Amino acid sequence: MADPQRSLAGIALLEGLEPRRLVDLELRCRWHRWDPGATIIDRQSEARDVYFVVAGQVRVVNFLPAGREIAFDEVAAGGHFGDLPALDGAPRSATVAALGETRTASIAPQTFLALLRDNPDIALRVTQGLPRIVHTATDRIMELSTLGAHNRVHAEILREARAAMTGDNTAAITPIPVHRDIAARASTTRETVARVLGNLSRQKLVTRERDALAVSDVAKLARLVEAVREEP
């Protein structure tokens, strides 16, 4: 009987793969369980394995010289990461850490490349995912270079609100974002995040509810961000 703890059935990249080939791939995997905060991939590592997130969630980050964390992306269960070094042979360009208790399966780069050669649909999904990586990195670079710390927090709340719309102009972000996580994504401090959320609360733009951060006027929040971007 198949071990549900060692199954790739929920991995989006592998959707449509023949069952026998999926089983074969599972047998080739190295399976890991990670504690919250554990480093899964270290930046500049020479290893080029590709990882599937079987359960939990990971964060892709980099660090400024002073040690401040910059979060570039988060990958939830069903996603994958680490494919770029397998494709181009270059060292890792970011660190990946577990956000909570996380289970992953990893395959060697040779196995990954063979998977792409033998399955054009999977190869196409990888190709289609590359522009998103570029766009995400570009957005982060633009925000760091054009927005102050307060406005980067506005931009992060706006990003989460647009992904959690409850009406034409309202949103409910669940679970309530943790200050430390917002700070990492906005490359600022938790104290700055607390001040910005306090200001937004006084303006009645955000309200902390029992299980969500409610945004009452997404358009106004967007104008706060765009107004700063358009300043000479």
The set of residues, in sequence order, having a beta carbon less than 8 Å from that of 169 and lying 6+ positions away, is: 217, 218, 219
Nearest by Cα to 186 from 64, 104, 90, 98: 64
**What ranges do the domains of the chain cover?**
4-145, 148-229
Express each pLDDT in 89-111 by its tens digit.
888 888 999 999 999 999 999 99
CATH number for 148-229: choose from 1.10.287.370, 3.40.50.720, 1.10.10.10, 3.20.20.120.
Answer: 1.10.10.10
Question: What angle do the packed helices 190-202 and 179-186 form, to 10 degrees?
Answer: 110
The encoded tokens of residue 42 equal: 């270290």
Express each pLDDT in 123-167 by its tens digit.
999 999 988 888 877 877 778 777 888 999 999 999 999 999 999
CB 143 within 8 A of CB 136: no
Instruction: Say what the pTM is.
Output: 0.73
- Please give the CATH topology (third level) of the domain spanning 4-145: Jelly Rolls (2.60.120)
